[in-house]
C-alpha cells in the first residue's frame, strides 16, 4: 500500500510540474471542464430538451471533439465541423428522398453504394495536400454526417427533423466552445508561433555565442562524448539543448501557422497577418542552425587545434560570434516587439566584415606559421634557449623573408605580442618547442598542420554561419514589410 501511495504521489508531482511549467495547460483544462459542464447544464435545464431529445448528446460531443489547445485550432475544427455537417446534410437528404421512391431492396443497394462511393472518394480527397492542411477534419465530418443520415433515413426515422435538431445542437456546442476558447483567457496560435520563433532565434544566438566561447576558453578539454549527447543518452550539453529546438520545430511551426490563419485579429495582430512569412523565417533560421551544428561538432571532433593556438585568434573569433549573436538577438527582439530596428543591417554588415577579417587573418597567419615552423623547429632543436629570442627571431625572420604582405602580417603579429603582454610570444614558443622532446619533427609538423586546418575549418564554418544570417535577416525584413512593423515606414522613407 505504501508503494501505491508513493506512486500516486509521484504521479501528482508530475502533474503539478506539468501545470507549473506552463500555466496555460491548467487553464486550458479548466476551460474544457467549464465548456462541458455549461453545455450539459444548458441541455439538461432547458425546457427545449424534451423536443430535441437524444440529440443533446451531439452538443456534448461537439465540445469535446473540437475544443483544442489554441483558439485557432478550435476555430478551425469548429468551422470545419459546422460546414461539413451542413453540406453532408443537404447531400444526404437529397439521396434519401430519391431512394425512398425506389423499392425496399433497391433502397438498400442505393444506400450501400452511395456510402461506398462517398466514403472512398472523400477518404481519397483527404490525401490532397491542400485539403489535408486545412479541411481534413471537415471532410471526415462530412463523411460521418452523410453516412449517419443515410442510414437513419433508411430506418424510417424522420431524417429532416433529426438532421435539423442535430445541426442545431452542434451549433450550440460549437458556439459555446468558440466563445469560451476565444473570450476566456484565449491561447492564440499566432502568439505561440511568434513566441516559438522568437525563442528559437534567441536560443540560437546563445548557442552560437557559447559554442565559440567554449572553443577559445581554457575549460578542461572538451570530452569526446558527443555521440551520447546526440543519441539522447545524456542531456548535459547546454549548447546542444539550445539549438535542438530550432532544428526540430518545423512541424510545430507549420501547424501553428495553419491554425493562426483561422484566428480573428487580436492584440497586435491585424487581419491577414502574414503568418506564412513566419514559416520562411523558420526555414532560414533552420539553415543557420545547421551551420551551428557543424560548429558544435567541430568542438568535439578528434583533430583539435591546441588551446594555445586557439588563443591567438581568440579576439577575432569572439568578435565574429558576438556580432553574429547580436544580429540574431536583434532579430528576435524585432519580431518580439514588432518594431524594426534600423541597426540590424549595420550589425550584420559589421559581422560580415569581422568574418571576412577573420578569414583573411587566418589565411594570412596560416602562411606565416607554415613558412616559419620549419625554421623554428631547426632553431629550437637545441632547447632551453629562452622564449623571447625564439619568438623575436621568428618574427624578424619572417618579416625579412619577403615584401609587403609578410611584413604586414608580421607587424600584426608583433602588435599582438605587445598587446597581450608578450603572451603571444610565449604561446608561439610553447606551441612549437614544447612537444619536441617526445616526438620527432615529422609527426609534429603533421600534427601542427592538422590542428591549423581544424582551426581554419572552425573559422570557415563561422563565416558560413554569418553568410546564412543574411537569409534570416532578409526573411525577417520581408515579414516586417508584410506585417507593417513599426519603424518600417520610417526605414522606407529614409531610403
Stretch that binds its own copies, among 89-97, 180-188, 227-235, 314-322 (CB under 8 A): 227-235
Interaction of residue 379 with its own copies, rule CB under 8 A: no
Interaction of residue 81 with its own copies, rule CB under 8 A: no
- With vertex at residue 294, the alpha carbon angle to CA 208 and CA 412, rounded to the nearest 5 degrees, is 65
- Alpha-carbon distance of 209 to 164, in angstroms, equals 62
Q: Least distance to its own copies from the beta carbon of 320, Å?
A: 15
Interaction of residue 16 with its own copies, rule CB under 8 A: no
Interaction of residue 250 with its own copies, rule CB under 8 A: yes
Stretch that binds its own copies, among 94-102, 144-152, 322-330, 382-390 (CB under 8 A): 144-152
Cβ nearer to its own copies, comparing 438 with 442? 442
Among 8, 10, 13, 19, binds its own copies (CB under 8 A): 19
Interaction of residue 454 with its own copies, rule CB under 8 A: yes
Q: Which distant-in-sequence residues (6+ apart) come within 8 Å of 227 by Cβ?
A: none
* Region of 301 on the Ramachandran plot (φ > 0 left; ψ -120 to 50 alpha; else beta): beta
Interaction of residue 406 with its own copies, rule CB under 8 A: yes
Q: Which distant-in-sequence residues (6+ apart) come within 8 Å of 281 by Cβ?
A: 197, 335, 472, 475, 476, 479
Interaction of residue 65 with its own copies, rule CB under 8 A: yes
Among 90, 106, 157, 415, binds its own copies (CB under 8 A): 157
Interaction of residue 87 with its own copies, rule CB under 8 A: no
- Number of residues interacting with its own copies: please give it, by CB under 8 A: 118
C-alpha 172: how far from its chain's center? 38
Residues numbered 419 to 448 that lie near its own copies (CB under 8 A) are 441-442, 445-446
Grid cell at residue 188: 492564440
Q: Least distance to its own copies from the beta carbon of 490, Å?
A: 27
Stretch that binds its own copies, among 80-88, 89-97, 181-189, 369-377 (CB under 8 A): 369-377
Among 181, 347, 424, 460, binds its own copies (CB under 8 A): 460
Interaction of residue 160 with its own copies, rule CB under 8 A: no
Exposed e or buried b per residue across 95-112, where buried means at least 16 C-beta atoms within 10 angstroms of its C-beta = bbeebeeeeeeebeebbe
Q: Least distance to its own copies from the beta carbon of 446, Å?
A: 6
Q: Least distance to its own copies from the beta carbon of 397, Å?
A: 13
Among 7, 9, 10, 123, binds its own copies (CB under 8 A): 123
Q: Least distance to its own copies from the beta carbon of 480, Å?
A: 16
Among 12, 13, 15, 343, binds its own copies (CB under 8 A): 15
Element (H, E) at 263: none
For residue 483, the 8-state DSSP code is T
Interaction of residue 14 with its own copies, rule CB under 8 A: yes
Stretch that binds its own copies, among 195-203, 243-251, 386-394, 411-419 (CB under 8 A): 243-251
- Alpha-carbon distance of 152 to 295, in angstroms, equals 64
Interaction of residue 318 with its own copies, rule CB under 8 A: no
What angle do helix axes 136-154 and 159-183 make, rounded to 10 degrees? 150
> Hey, which residues does 486 pair with through a beta bridge?
339
Q: Least distance to its own copies from the beta carbon of 108, Å?
A: 6
Among 475, 476, 479, 480, binds its own copies (CB under 8 A): 475
Which of 495, 455, 169, 431 is closest to 305 using CA atoms?
455
- Alpha-carbon distance of 279 to 246, in angstroms, equals 12
Answer for the pair 285, 256: CB distance below 8 angstroms, yes or no: no
Grid cell at residue 137: 477534419
- Alpha-carbon distance of 63 to 327, in angstroms, equals 45
Exposed e or buried b per residue across 357-371, where buried means at least 16 C-beta atoms within 10 angstroms of its C-beta = ebbebbebbeebbee
For residue 439, the 8-state DSSP code is S
Interaction of residue 324 with its own copies, rule CB under 8 A: no
Answer for the pair 246, 200: CB distance below 8 angstroms, yes or no: yes
Among 61, 79, 299, 393, binds its own copies (CB under 8 A): 61
Among 384, 404, 438, 494, binds its own copies (CB under 8 A): 404
Cβ nearer to its own copies, comparing 269 with 295? 295
Cβ nearer to its own copies, comparing 402 with 489? 402
Stretch that binds its own copies, among 32-40, 269-277, 328-336, 412-420 (CB under 8 A): 32-40
C-alpha 468: how far from its chain's center? 16
Among 71, 73, 143, 338, binds its own copies (CB under 8 A): 143
Interaction of residue 340 with its own copies, rule CB under 8 A: no
- Alpha-carbon distance of 432 to 312, in angstroms, equals 14
Backbone angles phi, psi at 269, to 5 degrees: -100, 115
Interaction of residue 99 with its own copies, rule CB under 8 A: no
Which of 141, 184, 137, 166 is closest to 35 using CA atoms?
184
Q: Least distance to its own copies from the beta carbon of 479, Å?
A: 13
Residues numbered 167 to 226 that lie near its own copies (CB under 8 A) are none
End-to-end CA distance of the chain: 75
Backbone angles phi, psi at 261, to 5 degrees: -70, -15
- Residue listed under C-alpha cell 518600417: 488
Among 87, 299, 456, 482, binds its own copies (CB under 8 A): 456
Query: Binding string, 275-314, against its own copies, x = CB under 8 A?
Result: -----x--xx--x--xx-xx--xx--xxx-----------
Amino acid at each position: 500500500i505504501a508503494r501505491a501511495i508513493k506512486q500516486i504521489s509521484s504521479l501528482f508531482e508530475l502533474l503539478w510540474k506539468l501545470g507549473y511549467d506552463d500555466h496555460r495547460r491548467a487553464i486550458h483544462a479548466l476551460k474544457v471542464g467549464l465548456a462541458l459542464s455549461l453545455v450539459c447544464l444548458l441541455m439538461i435545464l432547458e425546457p427545449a430538451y424534451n423536443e430535441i431529445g437524444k440529440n443533446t448528446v451531439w452538443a456534448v460531443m461537439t465540445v469535446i471533439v473540437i475544443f483544442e489547445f489554441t483558439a485557432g485550432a478550435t476555430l478551425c475544427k469548429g468551422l470545419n465541423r459546422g460546414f461539413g455537417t451542413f453540406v453532408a446534410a443537404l447531400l444526404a437528404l437529397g439521396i434519401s428522398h430519391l431512394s425512398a421512391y425506389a423499392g425496399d431492396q433497391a433502397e438498400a443497394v442505393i444506400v450501400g453504394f452511395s456510402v461506398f462511393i462517398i466514403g472512398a472518394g472523400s477518404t481519397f480527397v483527404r490525401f490532397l495536400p491542400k485539403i489535408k492542411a486545412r479541411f481534413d477534419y471537415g471532410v471526415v465530418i462530412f463523411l460521418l454526417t452523410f453516412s449517419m443520415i443515410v442510414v437513419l433515413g433508411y430506418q424510417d426515422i424522420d431524417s429532416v427533423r433529426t438532421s435539423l435538431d442535430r445541426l442545431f445542437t452542434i451549433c450550440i456546442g460549437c458556439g459555446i466552445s468558440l466563445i469560451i476558447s476565444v473570450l476566456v483567457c484565449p491561447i492564440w496560435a499566432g502568439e505561440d508561433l511568434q513566441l516559438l520563433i522568437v525563442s528559437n532565434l534567441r536560443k540560437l544566438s546563445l548557442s552560437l555565442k557559447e559554442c565559440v566561447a567554449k572553443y577559445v576558453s581554457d575549460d578542461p578539454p572538451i570530452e569526446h562524448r558527443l555521440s551520447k549527447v546526440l543519441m539522447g543518452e545524456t542531456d548535459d550539453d547546454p549548447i546542444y539543448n539550445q539549438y535542438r529546438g530550432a532544428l526540430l520545430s518545423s512541424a510545430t511551426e507549420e501547424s501553428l501557422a495553419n491554425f493562426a490563419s483561422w484566428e480573428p485579429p487580436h492584440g497586435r495582430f491585424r487581419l491577414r497577418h502574414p503568418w506564412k512569412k513566419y514559416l520562411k523565417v523558420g526555414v532560414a533560421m533552420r539553415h543557420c542552425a545547421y551551420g551551428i551544428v557543424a560548429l558544435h561538432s567541430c568542438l568535439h571532433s578528434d583533430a583539435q587545434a591546441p588551446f594555445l593556438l586557439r588563443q591567438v585568434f581568440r579576439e577575432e573569433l569572439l568578435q565574429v560570434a558576438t556580432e553574429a549573436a547580436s544580429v540574431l538577438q536583434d532579430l528576435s527582439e524585432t519580431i518580439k516587439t514588432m518594431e524594426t530596428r534600423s541597426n540590424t543591417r549595420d550589425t550584420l554588415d559589421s559581422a560580415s566584415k569581422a568574418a571576412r577579417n577573420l578569414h583573411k587573418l587566418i589565411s594570412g597567419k596560416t602562411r606565416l606559421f607554415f613558412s616559419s615552423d620549419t625554421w623554428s623547429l631547426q632553431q629550437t632543436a637545441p632547447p632551453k634557449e629562452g622564449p623571447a629570442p625564439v619568438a623575436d627571431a621568428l618574427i624578424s625572420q619572417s618579416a625579412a623573408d619577403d615584401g609587403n604582405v609578410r611584413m604586414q602580417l608580421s607587424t600584426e603579429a608583433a602588435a599582438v605580442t605587445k598587446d597581450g603582454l608578450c603572451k603571444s610570444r610565449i604561446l608561439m614558443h610553447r606551441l612549437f618547442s614544447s612537444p619536441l622532446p617526445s616526438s620527432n619533427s615529422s609527426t609534429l609538423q603533421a600534427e601542427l598542420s592538422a590542428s591549423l586546418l581544424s582551426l581554419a575549418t572552425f573559422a570557415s564554418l563561422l563565416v558560413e554561419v554569418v553568410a546564412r544570417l543574411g537569409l534570416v535577416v532578409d526573411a525577417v525584413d520581408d515579414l516586417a514589410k508584410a506585417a507593417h512593423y513599426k519603424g518600417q515606414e520610417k526605414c522606407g522613407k529614409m531610403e
